Copies of this chain bind each other. A is one copy, B any other.
């Protein structure tokens, strides 16, 4: 068995792979592959309806909040959010907590003014900023709830008087938060929710339509809401696999149940990082991500050796991002505790062999 710690695309539940594989051959005994079913059929409409309803239920969303499955990934939303919410002369507030926040800031600047209200830059993004003020006349405040590359995560969602926008690509559905506190949430599916190629967008419809810009048809959230997320041909298979993954999440007991396991998994790994004299965590303890654990070796010369050692134990995807170095173990919902145990055991036995 391979232990898949990929940062994304990443591991999904095994039963999802089984069902999706069967559906590619013969979906629900229709004699058709899920790949050849028209999106305007009742067959696919049922998939889209269930996927949207599961999101509403699992996030406990209010009626104001609409659920959309759109083409693209978070990189599309970096542009689409300001295109829909930020007028030329207005200002949007952004938190800079790493690469993805910076990319979002860059695109927002094409549509209006941006005020970066806090940054983790001075510490090379090893912390989540704590003391900052968000101007209450800004159009919205944008945060990246989990920073996949640096391995930091907002433990407490900041309170604002203005619309709050969250890029939750790498921690969506991983923990209980008040999703309704956000007026717009977006997430590329390829971590906790499904395969690459679809975006989840949750948006409070009351924040839309406030700007003067004419928005291209495909980019205007209001069009997608009006057409029930079926304005154009959706990424059928990706939506279907999201639906399967959300079903699985519900079977597990929902977000609270999976959060409990995520806490266990993260504790198991971070405890070893802190205990084992060969390793060190890179992020301030209180800001550590439960989704992406970043760590280095105190002797960098050992890193290549440890990587080869883990590979021999069928552990994959733990090489750190080049901006941080060392290692990154992604602990998404579908990763079993037993895989984390294999990694921790490898850290222990490697240390013993070095002693």
A residues adjacent to B (C-beta < 8 A): 1-2, 4, 6-12, 17-18, 20-22, 24-25, 30-33, 35-39, 71-76, 78-79, 83, 103, 106-107, 110, 188, 190, 194-198, 214, 216-219, 231-238, 241, 314, 316-317
Nearest CB in chain B to that of A71: its residue? B72
How far is it, in angstroms, between the C-alpha of A129 and the C-alpha of B288 when the chains are bound?
63
- Residues on the B chain within 8 Å of A78, using CB: 216-218
Interface of A is mostly: loop
Q: With A78-B217, A79-B219, A217-B106 in contact, is A12–B24 under 8 Å at CB? A: no
Closest to A77 in B: B218
Please indicate the chain B residues that have their CB under 8 angstroms from the CB of A18 in the complex. Answer: 25
A231 near B36 with CB under 8 A, answer: no
Residues of B within 8 A of A4 (CB): 32, 36
Distance between Cα atoms of A134 and B39 in the complex (Å): 36
Is B36 a contact of A6 with CB atoms below 8 Å? Answer: yes
A56 to chain B, nearest CB (A): 23
Cα–Cα distance between A152 and B272 once the two chains are bound (Å): 66
Q: Which of A30, A71, A76, A194 has the most chain B CB within a 10 Å cutoff?
A: A71
Given A35-B12, A35-B17, the answer on whether A197 and B75 have CB atoms closer than 8 Å is no
Q: Is the CB of A72 within 8 A of B218?
A: yes
Partner of A196, one of B217, B231, B234: B234
Contacts A8-B38, A9-B35, A25-B21; A72 near B75 (Cβ below 8 A): no
Complex partner residue of A35 from B30, B241, B317, CB under 8 angstroms: B241
With contacts A17-B25, A24-B24, A238-B238 known, what are 10 further pairs, Cβ within 8 A?
A6-B37, A8-B233, A9-B36, A75-B233, A78-B216, A79-B217, A110-B216, A190-B236, A195-B235, A197-B198
Residues of B within 8 A of A31 (CB): 1-2, 314
Q: Which residues of B contact A33 (CB under 8 A)?
A: 12, 17
Q: What are 28 sample pairs from A and B whose C-beta atoms fall under 8 A apart? A: A4-B36, A6-B38, A9-B36, A9-B39, A10-B36, A12-B35, A12-B36, A17-B24, A21-B22, A24-B24, A35-B195, A38-B317, A39-B196, A72-B72, A73-B232, A75-B218, A75-B232, A76-B218, A78-B217, A78-B218, A79-B216, A107-B217, A190-B233, A195-B237, A196-B236, A197-B197, A197-B235, A237-B237
Question: Cβ of A110: which chain B residues have Cβ within 8 Å of it?
Answer: 214, 216
